[in-house]
Structure 1
Amino acid sequence: MIPVRTLLLGSVAIAGTAVQAADLPAKTAAPVDYVRICSTHGTGFFYIPGTETCLRVSGRVRAEYLYLEPTDRSQDTIGFRARGRINLDARTATAYGMLRTYIRMEMTRNTGAYEFSSTSPEISQAFIQFGGLTAGRAVSFFTHPDLPAPNFGDLRFDDPSNAEVNLLAYTFSFGNGFSATLSLEDGTERRVNNELDFPLFGVGSPAPVLAPIPFDYGGERMPDVVANLRYTGTWGGAQLSGALHQIRDVAFGVTTVDGVTVPVINPVTGLPYPAYANTDYGFALAAHAYANLPFLGAGDTGWISATYTDGAVGYINAGQAGSISDGFIGAGRIAQPFADAFVDPLTGDFKTNKAYGIAGGINHNWTPTIQTNVFGSWMRFDAPGIAQYVVPASAATIASGTAGTTTGLVDFNEYRAGANVIWTPVEGFLIGVEALYIRVDPRGRVAVPLTDASGEPTGGFRSAGSDDTWEGRLRIQRDF
C-alpha cells in the first residue's frame, strides 16, 4: 500500500511541472486557408487558395455508337467511340479588364465505322483572353459559338463544335449587344485539296487529256483573315462573317521520270506548263442567327446558317479543323471530289470551286427532361465547266453504258436531314438517339467504279445519277 505522504509529494511535483510548462511560449497552429466559392462567374468557380483567381474544373465523358448503311461486304457498319474531356477555366479581374485562360483537353478512341484510331490526346482549345484580345486555339470567329445545334452527325455549315483553329483576334464591344472581331487564323486547317486521280475506263482507254489537274498546297504565306459583326439580345442573336483564304501550290508543271525532273507539256499548245500556278485567293461569307421560340414551348429555339464560299470550301465543311489532302463527299457508292481549287488543263492557272448552302433546325422540349431536335442542310458544289470531262469511248465504257458520261469535278447537290430525341433524367447527363439521311445528287450522270464482293475494283463502271445513305447514332454523355 502506497503511503499517503508519497502520494502528496507526487501531486505537488506534477503540479509544479504543469506550472512551468504554462510559462513556456506556445507554438500556434498555421491558419487553415479554406477554399472560397467564387460566384462572380457562375456556378462551379472557386478561388485558387492564396490568389484572387477564380478556377472552374469541368469535363465530359461521351460514349457513342454508330450504324452506317454499308455498300459492300468489306465495310464496317458498326462503330464505337469513347471520348473524354477535361476543361480548366481560370479568370482574374484586373484594372484592364478580365484576364482569362482556358484549356480543353480531349482523348478519343474510335473503332469500326468511325475508322480505327489509337487513343488520340489533343488540345482542342487553349487560349488567353485579355480585354478584347484572344490568342491561342479557340472556336473560329467565322462561326457563331452560341448556335443551339445539338446534332450528333455532320451538317454543311461551320459547326462550332468542330471549328477550332489557332488564331490571334481582337474583339471590340460597341455596347447594347453589338461587337465586331478581326481574327488572323491558321489557313492550313481550312485547306481542302483532292488528288484528282481519275481512272482509266477499261483496258486500252486513253487517259483524260483535258481533265482538271491536281496540285499540292505550298507553304502558308498569309493567315486566313476572318471578320465578324455580332449581335446578342434577349430574343437570341445574329452574326455576319467573312473570311479570306490564300491558295498557293508547289510545282505541278514538272514531273520525275527515271529520277530526272522534266517539264509537263500542255497537250493543246505543246508548250511546257509553268512550274506552279502561282497564288490565288478564295473567300467565304456567312450569316448565322438563332432565336428563342417560347410560343412553341419553354426553352424552345430555332437556328439558321447560310454560307457562300469560293475557293474556301473548308468554311462549309461541317466545322473543319484540319487540312484535307483528298477530299470527297459521298453517299452510297457515289463519292464526289471536293476541293478548294484545281489547275486549268488549258492555261495552267488556278480555277476556284464554289460551295454554298443553308442549314438550320428547331429544338422542342416536350417535358423538362425530353427534347426533340429536327435539323437539315442543303449544299451545292459548283465547279467551272473546265473541271468536267467526258468518259472516252472504249469497249469497256460502251459495254457498261458510261461512254459519254460527264465526270471529273462534277457539280452536285448534297441533302442532309435528321432528327434526334434526347432524354436528360439528371442534370448534365443525357441519353440520345439520332437518325440522319444523306443524299448526293450530281448534275447529270457520273461514272461509278464497280467492285466485287470484297470491295476491290473490277475495272468496270456504271452510270449513276444520285445515291443516298443513312446513319443511326446512340449517344450516352455526362458533363460535370
Structure 2
Amino acid sequence: MNIKSLLLGSAAALAVVSGAQAADAVVAAEPEPMEYVRVCDAYGTGFFYIPGTETCLKIGGQLRYEKRFGTNGVEKYDRAGLLTGRSTDDAYDNHTRARLRIDARNDSEWGTVYSWIQIQADSVNNGENIYGEGNNSYLRAYYYFGIGGLEFGNYDSQWAKFMGYGGRTDDGGVYTSDWNYPDSRQYVSYTADFGNFKAFVSLDNDADEFYKPEDHDGDGLAGKRGRQYLPDISAGVSGTFGDYQAAAAIGYDESDESFAVKKVVRGDIGMFGFTAMGLYSNSDENIYFAYDGFSALIGLSAKVTDTVTVAKDIQWFDNGDWRLVGDVNWEVATGFSVLVEGIYFNPDKGDDSKAGMLRFQRNF
C-alpha cells in the first residue's frame, strides 16, 4: 500500500465518523418567551393584566373579629332591616367575617366593561344577636357587572351607595332599609356621568322576601311582599364642588305604594369631614327608608393623627327619638386596624338602650 492510498483511506474514514457524529448532535431549542404579569394602572392601585388579555384584575379581601354587646332595650331588626322591637335582656355576641373580592375591568368602545364579586362568610354566636337569633353562620355572594353606565347587580342598591352610604361612623346611622347586610337587592340601573355631575335611575327587585307583618291594604299580601313582576323605582342626582358633594334621591316602593326622599351634603377639608343628611318617608314599611316621618343626621370626623380617626353621628327623628354613635379607629399597621364604637338610643317613649363593639380587622 503506497502513501497516497493510505492518506485517501484515512480521509474517507474521518469523513464517515464526522458525518455520524453530526447526525447524532442535539441542537437546543430556543426558549419560549416568558410573559410576566404587567401592572395595570388604568383603574387605580392593585390591578394587573390577566396574561394574554387586556383585562385588568384585582383581588382583595377582609377578615374581621368583633365582640358586640347591647344593654336592656337593644334594637332588634328583621332580615329586611325593619325594627321589630327591643330585647328585654342584655345581649352579646361574637361576630367573625371573611370576605373575598374579585374586580375585573377592560375598556371597550361602549365604555368600561366591569364585574365585581364578593364572597362573604359570617358567623355569629354566644347568645342572642341584634336579629333576635342565636348561633348561626351563613355564606353569601354579592355581585354586580355592567358596561358604561348600565349596571346589573345583587348588592347594595343605588339608593344606598350612590350618595356614599350614611354618616361618619361605621354604623352610619339609620338611613336606608335596603343594603347588603344581611340581605341585598337585585337591580338594573343606569348612571349618567357628566363629570362633576352624575344621575342615576334604578329598577329594584320588589323584595318578595321582605315580609309584611299584616295585610294592611287588603291585597292578600300578608306574609308576602310585592307583585314580583313590578319593580320598585329609585332615582337621584349628585354634584361635586371642590371639597364638597351634594346629592338627592327619591324612591318609590311599589308594593307598599309609598315613597322616600333623601338629601345629603358631604365635605372633607384637611383633617376634618362632615355629613348632613335629611330623610323622609310616608310609611314605616317603605323598603328604602322604613320610617313614617322625618329624620335628620349630622356626622363629624377628624383624623387626629396619621393613624387615628374619631367620628360621631347624631340622628333625630320627628317622633322625639335620638340616636348617637361614636367611634375611634386606629390603623395599627398597613392592612390591620382596631375599631371601638358605642351606640346610645334615646327613644321618646320606652327605655334607653346602649350598644358597643370592639373590632379587629385585616384588609388586603
Smaller-chain TM-score bracket: 0.7 to 0.9
- Of 278, 291, 307 in structure 2, the residue corresponding to residue 369 of structure 1 is 307
Cα distance in 1 for partners of 2:88, 2:301 equals 37
User: Do the aligned partners of residues 51 and 153 (structure 1) sit closer, same or farther apart at CA in structure 2, a change above 3 Å counting?
Assistant: same
Matching of residue 468 in structure 1 with residue 352 in structure 2: yes
Q: Deviations over 1:124-172 (max 9, x none)?
A: x311120110112233222335357453446221286748411001112
1:142 aligned partner: 159
Matching of residue 304 in structure 1 with residue 276 in structure 2: yes
Q: Deviations over 1:303-348 (max 9, x none)?
A: 122111113533235xxxxxxxxxxxxxxxxxxxx7xxxxxxxxxx
Quote how far apart the aligned CAs of 1:118 are. 3.0
Kept after mapping to 1: 8 A contact 2:234/2:249: yes
User: Do the aligned partners of residues 363 and 154 (structure 1) sit closer, same or farther apart at CA in structure 2, a change above 3 Å counting?
Assistant: closer
1:121 aligned partner: 139
User: Do the aligned partners of residues 367 and 218 (structure 1) sit closer, same or farther apart at CA in structure 2, a change above 3 Å counting?
Assistant: closer
1:398 aligned partner: none
Query: Counterpart of 1:66 in 2: which secondary structure?
Result: strand
Matches within 5 A, 1:221-240: 221-240=229-248
Kept after mapping to 2: 8 A contact 1:84/1:106: yes
Matches within 5 A, 1:89-104: 89-104=103-118
The aligned amino acid for 2:336 is F
Kept after mapping to 2: 8 A contact 1:148/1:302: no
2:70 aligned partner: 68
Matching of residue 58 in structure 1 with residue 34 in structure 2: no
Cα distance in 1 for partners of 2:66, 2:89 equals 19
Matching of residue 156 in structure 1 with residue 40 in structure 2: no
Q: TM-score normalised to the size of structure 2?
A: 0.80
Quote how far apart the aligned CAs of 1:26 are. 3.6
User: Do the aligned partners of residues 102 and 218 (structure 1) sit closer, same or farther apart at CA in structure 2, a change above 3 Å counting?
Assistant: closer
Quote how far apart the aligned CAs of 1:477 are. 0.8
Quote how far apart the aligned CAs of 1:239 are. 1.1
1:292 aligned partner: 268
Quote how far apart the aligned CAs of 1:415 are. 1.5
Query: Counterpart of 2:288 in 1: which secondary structure?
Result: helix
Matches within 5 A, 1:147-226: 147=165, 149-153=167-171, 155-158=173-176, 162=181, 164-175=184-195, 177-188=196-207, 191=210, 193-195=212-214, 215-216=222-223, 217=225, 219-226=227-234
Q: Deviations over 1:420-445 (max 9, x none)?
A: 11110212221011111012224xxx
2:81 aligned partner: none
Kept after mapping to 1: 8 A contact 2:276/2:297: yes
1:130 aligned partner: 147
Kept after mapping to 2: 8 A contact 1:67/1:113: no
The aligned amino acid for 2:260 is A
Q: Deviations over 1:245-267 (max 9, x none)?
A: 122xxxxxxxxxxxxxxxxxxxx
Kept after mapping to 2: 8 A contact 1:157/1:358: no
2:348 aligned partner: 441
The aligned amino acid for 2:190 is Y
Bigger drift between 110-119 and 281-290 goes to 110-119
2:7 aligned partner: none
Cα distance in 2 for partners of 1:102, 1:94 equals 17
Quote how far apart the aligned CAs of 1:241 are. 0.3
Query: Counterpart of 2:40 in 1: which secondary structure?
Result: coil
2:251 aligned partner: 243
Quote how far apart the aligned CAs of 1:16 are. 8.2
User: Do the aligned partners of residues 218 and 425 (structure 1) sit closer, same or farther apart at CA in structure 2, a change above 3 Å counting?
Assistant: closer
User: Do the aligned partners of residues 438 and 221 (structure 1) sit closer, same or farther apart at CA in structure 2, a change above 3 Å counting?
Assistant: same
Q: Deviations over 1:161-190 (max 9, x none)?
A: 748411001112223x11111110012179
Kept after mapping to 2: 8 A contact 1:192/1:313: no
Kept after mapping to 1: 8 A contact 2:168/2:300: no
Q: Deviations over 1:335-383 (max 9, x none)?
A: xxx7xxxxxxxxxxxxxxx232112311101100111001121224xxx
Quote how far apart the aligned CAs of 1:224 are. 0.6
Kept after mapping to 2: 8 A contact 1:148/1:290: no
Cα distance in 2 for partners of 1:126, 1:25 equals 53
Cα distance in 2 for partners of 1:413, 1:117 equals 34
**CA-atom RMSD in angstroms:** 3.1
Cα distance in 2 for partners of 1:73, 1:316 equals 22
User: Do the aligned partners of residues 17 and 469 (structure 1) sit closer, same or farther apart at CA in structure 2, a change above 3 Å counting?
Assistant: farther
Quote how far apart the aligned CAs of 1:40 are. 1.1
Kept after mapping to 2: 8 A contact 1:302/1:363: yes
Cα distance in 2 for partners of 1:119, 1:432 equals 23
- Of 324, 330, 339 in structure 2, the residue corresponding to residue 417 of structure 1 is 324
User: Do the aligned partners of residues 18 and 32 (structure 1) sit closer, same or farther apart at CA in structure 2, a change above 3 Å counting?
Assistant: farther
User: Do the aligned partners of residues 26 and 232 (structure 1) sit closer, same or farther apart at CA in structure 2, a change above 3 Å counting?
Assistant: same
The aligned amino acid for 1:58 is G
Identity %: 25
User: Do the aligned partners of residues 281 and 66 (structure 1) sit closer, same or farther apart at CA in structure 2, a change above 3 Å counting?
Assistant: same
1:406 aligned partner: none
